[in-house]
Amino acid sequence: MDMNGMDVVDLQKARAEATERFLAVAEALKAEAGVKKHEIRKSLSGYATKDGTIRAPEGRTRKQLYILAHECGHIALGHFKSGKKRHREEYEAERYAHEALRRHEIAVPKKMTERAKSYVRYKIRQGLKRGLKKVDAEAAAWSGYKG
């Protein structure tokens, strides 16, 4: 038994059930977003392409599923023809991922939210280094960017 009163078999069963649930949610998210193709990446990173393809982890864990949801967000939100600044698109994709997981009753840990905000701050700083003239106020406020 472990500290929570679960034995190894119970723990393995719970993990298998969580994986099954996460993979089912991944399929639902891709369908909702209009993803045409999913190329599975082993790394914990991803990207989306204008033809409706996402390259992202499978979605077996909460972290993988969040990355997949973020990339689905780029497709669902039409970021390839939006004309928006990159930091705004990344902010929108982060918010989409949060909302999508919550819609499917999957909690987003605080640490994951903090990482998302940090990523948006990074994209703002990157944009400024590349000549960005105006930072999106909503993205800055959400991410905690102070300028």
DSSP string across 55-66: EE----SHHHHH
User: Residue 55: phi, psi to the nearest 5?
Assistant: -115, 110
Total number of domains in the chain: 1
pLDDT for residue 20? 97
Report the predicted TM-score, pTM, of the whole model to 2 decimal places.
0.92
**Is the Cα torsion angle 131, 53, 113, 57 positive or negative in sign?**
negative
Amino acid (one-letter) located at 105? E
Band of the pLDDT at 7, cuts 50, 70, 90?
confident
CA distance 121 to 113: 12
Structure confidence by residue, pLDDT tens digits, 91-143: 999 999 999 999 999 999 999 999 999 999 999 999 999 999 999 999 999 99
Alpha helices in 77-109 (DSSP H): 86-103
Spatial CB neighbours of 77, under 8 Å, sequence gap ≥ 6: 89, 92, 93, 96
pLDDT for residue 3? 55
pLDDT for residue 104? 98
1 located within any domain = no
pLDDT for residue 6? 67
CA distance 44 to 50: 21
pLDDT for residue 147? 84
20 located within any domain = yes
Structure confidence by residue, pLDDT tens digits, 21-63: 999 999 999 999 999 999 999 999 999 999 999 999 999 999 9
What is the DSSP-derived secondary structure letter of residue 122? H
55 located within any domain = yes
- For residue 134, the enclosing domain spans 8-143
2 located within any domain = no
Band of the pLDDT at 11, cuts 50, 70, 90?
confident
